[in-house]
Amino acid sequence: MSFAPIPLYDDPYGKNPSPAGQGRLFHQLQHVSNFLRGVRLQLRYGELSRAPLRLLRFQVVDEIVECDWMARSPDPWDADLARRVQQKHASLQALRDAIDVRALLFDALPEVDTANVRVFRESAQYTPEMIISGCVQRNDHSSRNLHSMVMRARILGFRFRLEDEVLLRI
């Protein structure tokens, strides 16, 4: 996790600390902690998978956030279902999580206007493969009236490959 450099001193020789710079850093840290707490509490369980969301990377630079996470694995209770159904549920859960993380990002971080997100999943070789990416904007409210999760995610700026309702590697 990294933060934009904030000048802590106003004078050229760095002798008198600026309370305004320290206050801005404090508020930025407070907003970041609100986001991390929200991920931990609000997104603890998914609707289709009880596996936790694993945050891999979170970086704030000026008004841009970069956030990477590992998609939830299929729910153990789905083990008796066909593999295609398990993959379909995991894909739908990954899209829901992407939309929810986007909303949480912009709610918790009011100074952020743009977020670059990437979602990975474990592959058969135990190496992460990217399944969703996107540069999403705060002011994109055009998807609120859509019932299709896939169309809502696309309109919000997420990019992914979907075949037979299963997310493929991008």
Q: What is the pLDDT of residue 62?
A: 80
Range of the domain at 119: 19-168
pTM here is 0.81
The reply to whether 151 falls in a domain is yes
114 or 11: whose pLDDT is higher?
Answer: 114
The reply to whether 7 falls in a domain is no
* Helical H segments across the chain, by residue range: 19-42, 83-108, 149-156
1 or 157: whose pLDDT is higher?
Answer: 157
Whether the predicted pLDDT of 9 surpasses 50: no
The reply to whether 57 falls in a domain is yes
The reply to whether 158 falls in a domain is yes
Among 31-35, 75-79, 115-119, 151-155, name the one with the lowest average pLDDT: 75-79
Q: How far is the first Cα of the chain from the last one, in angstroms, to the nearest whole number?
A: 25
The reply to whether 32 falls in a domain is yes
Q: What is the pLDDT of residue 10?
A: 47
The reply to whether 54 falls in a domain is yes
pLDDT in tens, 93-104: 999 999 999 999
Find which of 32-36, 64-68, 83-87, 136-140 is predicted with most confidence, using mean pLDDT.
Answer: 64-68
Q: What is the pLDDT of residue 76?
A: 83
Q: What is the pLDDT of residue 139?
A: 82
The reply to whether 149 falls in a domain is yes
Query: What total number of domains does the chain contain?
Result: 1
The reply to whether 1 falls in a domain is no
Give residue 21's pLDDT band: very low, low, confident or very high (50, 70, 90): low
